[in-house]
Amino acid sequence: MPCSKRSDELVFFVNGRKVIERNADPEGTLLNFLRKNLRLTGTKYACGRGGGACTVMVSRPDPMSKKIRHFSITACLVPICSLYGAAVTTVEGVGSIKTRIHPVQERIAKSHGTQCGFCTAGMVISMYTLLRNHPEPSEEQLMEALGGNLCRCTGYRPILASGRTFCMESNGCQQKGTEQCCLDQGENDSSPLGRKSEMCSELFAKEEFQPLDPTQELIFPPELLRMAENPEKGTLTFHGERVTWISPATLKDLLVLKAKYPEAPLILGSTSLGPAMKSQEHFYPVLLSPVRISELCVVSETSDGLTVGAGCSLAQGKDVLAEMVSKLPEEKTQTYLALLKHLKSLGGQQIQNTASLGGHVISRHYYSDLNPILAVGNATLNLISEEGMRQIPLNEDFLAGLASADLKPQEILASVHIPHSHKWEFVSAFRQAECQQNALPDVNAGMRVLFEEGTDTIADLSLAYGGVGAATISAHRSCQQLLGRRWNELMLDEACRLLLEEVSLPGSAPGGRVEFKRTLVVSFLFKFYLQVLQELKKLLKLFPVPDSHHYPEIPDRFLSALEDFPVTILQGVQTYQSVDSHQPLQDPVGRPIMHLSGLKHATGEAIFCDDIPVVDKELVMALMTSTRAHAKIISIDSSEALELPGVVDVIAAEDIPGTNGAEDDKLLAVDEVLCMGQLICAVVAETEVQVKQAIEKVKITYEDLEPDAIKQNSFLCPEKKLEQGNIEEAFEKVDQIVEGEVHVGGQEHFYMETQRVLVIPKAEDKELDIYVSTQDPAHVQKTVSSTLSIPINRITCHVKRVGGGFGGKVGRPAVLGAIAAVGAVKTGLPVRLVLDREDDMLITGGRHPLFGKYKVGFMNSGRIKALDIECYINGGCVLDASELVFLILKLENAYKIRNLRFRGRACMTNLPSNTAFRGFGFPQGALVTESCITAVAARCGLLPEKIREKNMYRTIDKTIYKQAFSPETLIRCWKECLDKSSFHSRRQVEEFNKKNYWKKKGIAVIPMKFSVGFAATSYHQAAALVHIYTDGSVLVTHGGNELGQGIHTKMLQVASRELKIPMSYMHVCETSTETVPNTIATAASVGSDVNGKAVQNACQILLKRLEPIMKKNPEGTWEDWIEAEFEQRISLSATGYFRGYKAFMDWEKGEGDPFPYYVYGAACSEVEIDCLTGAHKKIRTDIVMDACYSLNPAIDIGQIEGAFIQGMGLYTTEELKYSPEGVLYSQGPDEYKIPTITDIPEEFNVSLLPSSQTSLTLYSSKGLGESGMFLGSSVFFAIADAVATAYRERDIAMDFIVRSLATPEWVRMACADQFTEMIPRDDPKTFKPWSIPIA
């Protein structure tokens, strides 16, 4: 419809204020409206798929209960036009540092639940909404409320800790803050490793929090209540440029509209249709919204079942089902219980609050969690149109979309009728996904069986599966053939055979994991078989039947297969060494000081790059990327794009006035592309909508070339090699030799804030202001300088804060900044470039995948005599940071092996170049070494920890590259970890494993000698500039960037100690190349170390100048002294400088001191796996880390926990999938699973090693930003330990091919059994796989 037609007014409230929008755009989202129209930037764009950073609260009157319903939603998915009559509360409406902060905001900040802060506002709103509904929530409700919020920094523990302060008293330990906490007891309470009196386990003082007062919350606007009770408006219509949104007020009006626009979809939550319209280019000129029609939300109960309105949200449906289960006899609620089980894991709370039952059913996604259960439960769909009502069954034909069983174009779904179950009828639901919650299932199933009364003879059987075809599949043929059979093992064997014939999946099926999915089909049936057998026995006890059959016995060892892993709230203790009792109270060093921006994160007032207000005449940029892995560019035709309204220009390589990147790494492609996602050109336009439309109109013609990766010996740089001893001779003298392989997948940074930059050209002298989210503003400055061919001194880069980096914002921001700068200079106007999550993941690269081969020689005692490791990392199409990964310097980890040879190569492939990532090669390389250890243990028949101890460094020694160090602290960490984790008593998991065939526990403890820093002295230099103003206030600037690691907080702690004044006198504004030039990237864990030294130096210079004045007036105040200093014309400003740690590496000699120091640590993790599904739960993790003297224990413990959880993701869930053509499938949170709040260990204890010292660093502190990453491998090796138990029990020959990730697929297929044996297997030569490995 043409946009010239007059739209109705969209009326709603935001934070208590009325909003009237007269030109509401049907394609616009609430997130865009809040950020662009209302300038409420606390609500963030992180992924566009509901990752939680954009969470807001919506309040509406419930037409049934007449109460106000508060619910959390993700603003990125909600159409703005759907909010008529609603009240929206954003984080700004909850509280502000300018007026009054809310207890939720205070507690998450003071509990150290914020790091980068980009996700914090969403967390606040999720908790706030929970408290509006439940002022004293249960811990289960807290977990549920936060389940839809992603965080990449904190590891979730402190966020949960803040939320638990509102919860009803739990049954957890009530001794928090004392030395007698039950979770803090090791095997040896009188451990000599550190005096208990020195240790503290309180990171915040709960008693200081302001109480929650529900009476102080915003009331629901009375005007909206009146509008709901007396709706004056009939049908509302909103016209956009391309789409018309129509919202009728009555069901009758809706049916008239549906008859008029039969092709128009109904849109309620937009959780399915919204992403489809955005990414799959589904386009509908008319959208019908039934959001105001109360008849579609009616729930009614009859004698035979429950009818739920199609407009009910999934959350409302869950409440209704829970109520039915609570009041009906169990025999009637089988289907309801099965639905409830899946509703607990179907999306996060925000998705469940907006997605409708009708939308879920009608979408008929092949992965639907509810449709298989509704299908087997004989649900019926009540349809309505102008012609009247009719019913159709929700069966296989409907799910397959057959016209004869589907809705007619003019019909809508009014409600879903779900029948009660009956006595002797059993219904179950099963699902397996990459992680427990918030993940689409690989396979799910609904299963129902009805028996002839008093028997185990099958009267009716229904089995339906999702995830194994283009739609939900009902195994109708198999079920028919099993009618009349008895429920025994013969039936089970026959059923499995029939199912595998009927539910067939081709080897090339979309989504891959074909053999895993086939196995789950029969594994789920086996679980159902056992469940039903168990229930039959219970039923027979309650209702004895004469002459009843004797049911097969379930072996006790099989019973654990019946239990799913529950979601439990985390317990744990964080311990650190208290500051010396003689330390002045105002000296903050060593104390758990809150992050400087913590409260601003929690109120949404912390400004990130894209929160900067729109500049006058600002343009928006979007990037055109290659759709081929390797091809010649024949032509670029931008003529159609340039004709579109609002499009200003197209930027290509020929527009670059200076250098177009490096010869082998162009900013914009010239003549040839080397990977999918390579940048070819950029479009600048006046609005975001216009620029996205223009990108679609740029036509690029390619001529495909053979992929470089096919060529032999395609490497990016020369081989790196280290060797010591005589390895060949050593192999001849050992008792045993094992050879193996290790494959480590890549990892996406998934920082919550995507790459973004704003370039503002100034009016004179070619000056540019660049606001950029980067770890290295000086690199951005230099790259822009060379690209534009202007001096560096004309370019100023500003970094206020970065929403997570992890290495991914070292190199890439320079490329994006340079391209945006070309656009700004060419047009003479400001240019803003913000990457969508999909583009960010496609373009930027990540952690290097690794393929390692090892040969290890050892004695029967477990002593390793020789180790030869050859590693290949997948560098992508250009060098980037691949040569700097220094992988082989990190391979030895904690072990002294006399005869070693390490070799490493970076392979060239036609993928985006991989780059720096937290840990910088250590998490991949050390995994190879630890895999050698477990292989030796398996061959010797010894426990892995015994092999580790036997081969660990013990005395002062030299590494393979001849760097001397003392392993004393390493050994202390190892022993303390064993003690605190009660490792030796918990090692007795064998007892559990003997008693349980289908569940296995595993435990592993991993030591670590983590190398900190860059292997070059010049990369450790740092500078600072400290100003003291005449009122006594102090401005500290330095070269480090705030990434969430609390560097600004630590710098003020340093300045406070050195100047001997409180932190309240001090301020950090931003990091700018104008104040501190020639900075080094904030990376490699040394940011606080080196910048802290520079700040210390500047403060000491200032204090030295001040000393004579202080001596003259010892009773004076700080302000008195500063005033006197100014009067005496003494400079109140000083530059501090640190020349850097000495670090070098001579590769020709194979020796050097490449790292300033090491961080030592150890982690013990225990897991339990489900051999039938591949799922696992993390029972407990204990970490002991050598922080020496922590500058800020709260920040350092947060860094350890966050890195550990990120490492755990690397080794268990974060899987990158590429097509054979090089297409990245994993381009968002739907496909790429970072850990969620339900993935963290049930018990998570972190201890900083006490009484540890180093003279090298600032106040004897250590950088802990990266080291915790590798300790996440303790979870991987615990899973491997559990799998190895299954191997031994099943007499499976252990191979020595290690594949990380330990995904459910890997675990399930490794635990081979009768079900993995019975599935059909395809010859790889007969089909093209959906995805290929890249390591």
* Largest interatomic CA distance in the chain: 108
**961 to 624, 721, 889, 943: CA distances (angstroms):** 45, 10, 7, 29
502 near 463, Cβ under 8 Å?
A: no
**1083 to 56, 283, 342, 791, 1080: CA distances (angstroms):** 34, 44, 42, 26, 8
158 near 127, Cβ under 8 Å?
A: no
**1220 to 15, 122, 508: CA distances (angstroms):** 50, 37, 11
**Helix, coil or strand: residue 999:** strand
Give CA–CA dist 1030/1132, Å, rounded: 8
Q: Parallel, antiparallel, or unpaired for β 473-474 and 647-651?
A: unpaired
Give CA–CA dist 300/1145, Å, rounded: 75
Structure tokens, 917: 């990532």
Helix (H), strand (E) at residue 1315: helix 1314-1318
Helix (H), strand (E) at residue 318: helix 314-327
Three-state DSSP string of 664-694: CECCCCCCEECCCCCEEEEEEECCHHHHHHH
Can you spell out the DSSP letters for 526-543?
HHHHHHHHHHHHHHHHHS
Give CA–CA dist 949/161, Å, rounded: 35
Give CA–CA dist 267/286, Å, rounded: 10
Give CA–CA dist 471/750, Å, rounded: 31
Helix (H), strand (E) at residue 635: strand 631-637
945 near 711, Cβ under 8 Å?
A: no
Q: In the 8-state DSSP scheme, what is residue 192?
A: T
530: Cα within 13 Å, side-chain hemisphere: 17
Can you spell out the DSSP letters for 6-30?
PPPPEEEEETTEEEEESS--TT-BH
Query: How far from the centroid of its chain's Cα atoms is residue 1140's Cα?
Result: 34
483 near 459, Cβ under 8 Å?
A: yes
Query: How far from the centroid of its chain's Cα atoms is residue 709's Cα?
Result: 30
- Which residues in 666-788 belong to E strands, given as ranges? 672-673, 679-685, 699-704, 720-724, 736-744, 756-761, 768-772
CB atoms within 10 A of CB 5: 10
839 near 846, Cβ under 8 Å?
A: no
Give CA–CA dist 734/865, Å, rounded: 7
425 near 408, Cβ under 8 Å?
A: no
396 near 402, Cβ under 8 Å?
A: no
**293 to 85, 182, 288, 296, 298: CA distances (angstroms):** 13, 54, 12, 6, 10
- 927, 931, 937, 939: CA torsion to nearest 10: -170
**Cross-strand pairs, 905:** 872
Q: Tokens 């865009």 belong to which residue?
A: 32
Q: Tokens 């009364």 belong to which residue?
A: 453
Task: Report the catalytic residues.
Answer: 1266
